[in-house]
Amino acid sequence: MNYILSIMPSLFAGAKMTLILFFWTLITAIPLGIIVSLGLLSYFKPLRLVLKFYIWIMRGTPLLLQLIFIFYGLPIVGIIFQRYDAALFAFILNYTAYFAEIFRGGFQSIPIGQYESARVLRLNYWQTLTHIIIPQVSKIVIPSIGNEVINLVKDTSLVYVIGLGELLRAGNVATARDVTLIPLVIVGIIYLLMTGIASFLLKKIERNFAKWK
Amino acid sequence: MLELKNITKKFGSRTILNKLNLTIPDREILAIVGPSGAGKTTLLRCLSGLERIDSGEFLWDGQEFDPTAPDSKSHIIGVVFQNYELFPNLTVIENITLAPTLVLKENAEQAQTHAQKLLQQLDLTGKEDLYPYQLSGGQQQRVAIVRALAMEPHILCYDEPTSALDPDLRTKVGEIILKLKSNNKMTQIIVTHDMEFASQVADQVFKVKALDDKKVI
């Protein structure tokens, strides 16, 4: 027990980094994902092609490669990121692509009649989006976004590879030092707690959207 | 008075409306009838600004207007869609007051009062806080009518108002349309393939024929 208490501060410090990355990635990548999805649906073909290419790269290559590329690769051509900045940059780029695809599907499932009735009522594009389309899209995409949110909690462990002190690294350091499995078990439990809380909150949000159909 | 002069609408090389002329006096009910594919709905879509015409003009009281323009001067037409297109994420009262508050800049209280008055007139009192899925088809249609009226259009258009209704409700929507004429002095246009309904409520019936494809210019 004493041993567990003694390693908790370092594990919590690691968990804090995990949560910070999780939080900033989420609140940046979701709005960016919406914007990119609107671009994917625009009538301007070059924009669509550029965005499709971006999504193809981001979804078609491992996030681990992207992290390594940004932190270890880019300095070769003179672009240098701090560890934390590199991690956040890679996560936002990667998750924006996934969110954009999810939102694109959501936008496309809204019947054209909803846009037309808004237009006949003379709402402008922005009013139509914010009051009518985005609430309906949100309801549709929440289950898929939920999956990505859970994935993101676990994916944060990948920053291990660029030497950022997050939860998994903290656990592994303790295990290697003290030759015991306990830190890794606790790391697992902390991940379970974080994904558990995230699922619980997502369920609540989903239920909130259930009052209309 | 609404006048349509030489309205032509093509989709690609297909001419849907060819030099169409039509006059609708104030407070009259005009029914536009004809077989499917004859361009009834296209005419209504052009009139409400959802499609751009290729040539011709729309005149309101002698003044030309562009239904696709967003300015308030061009806001002549309100539309009740065939499947109503209520916003499912908003309650009845929000569906109705959304556009008046955002577009006409009515304050919340004005918009509410106006909406309540219209709801009462169309037998919808007590439904304010329900969501569209909680209403019957007939009630949804009436909400769509109130929503269009709340924007104070000069003319109200209906796209196939009887197609989704059983016979009882068909009579009822006919009564509503006549009541809007006598009480609200509304000019109304009904696009329908229901000849019987058209002859029951309309002052004027306009028949559109499918254009022969050979006549394409």
From the candidates B87, B92, B130, B159, which should be mutated to test the interface with A, based on the most A CB atoms within 10 A?
Answer: B87
Which residue shows structure tokens 């939102």? A103
Closest residue of chain B to A132, computed from CA coordinates: B87
Residue ranges of domains in chain A: 2-211
pLDDT of the residue at B212: 59
> Other C-beta atoms within 10 Å of B120: how many?
12
Q: What is residue B215's predicted lDDT score, i.e. its pLDDT?
A: 46
Task: Please give the order of strands across the beta sheet that includes B204-207.
Answer: B77-80, B155-159, B187-192, B29-33, B204-207
Q: pLDDT below 70 — which residues of chain B?
A: 211-217
Instruction: Round to whole Å and give the CA distance between B42 and B16.
Output: 8
Report the topology of domain A2-211. Answer: MetI-like fold (1.10.3720)
Q: At what angle do helices B167-184 and B137-149 cross, to 10 degrees?
A: 20
Beta carbons of A117 and B49 less than 8 Å apart: no
Write the pLDDT tens digit of every residue in A91-139. 999 999 999 999 999 999 999 999 999 999 999 999 999 999 999 999 9
Q: Is the pLDDT of residue A6 over 50?
A: yes
In this model, does residue A52 exceed pLDDT 50? yes
pLDDT of B45: 93
pLDDT at B213: 53
* A210 contacts chain B (CB < 8 A): no
Is A131–B90 a contact, with Cβ atoms under 8 angstroms apart?
A: yes
Which domains are seen in chain B, by residue range?
A: 2-215 (3.40.50.300)
Residue A43's contacts (CB-CB under 8 Å, 6 or more residues apart) are none
**Residue A40 pLDDT greater than 50, yes or no:** yes
- Residue-averaged pLDDT of chain A: 94
Residues 6+ apart with CB under 8 A from B20: B4, B6, B7, B8, B43, B56, B208
Residues of chain B with Cβ-Cβ distance to A119 below 8 Å are 49-50
Three-class SS state of A179: coil
Cα-to-chain-centroid distance, residue B214: 32
Q: Across residues A157-185, what is the average pLDDT?
A: 90
Beta bridge partners, B4, equal B22, B58
Q: How many CB pairs under 8 A join A and B?
A: 64
Q: Tell me what pLDDT residue B216 has.
A: 42
Q: Which residues of B touch A130 (CB under 8 A)?
A: none
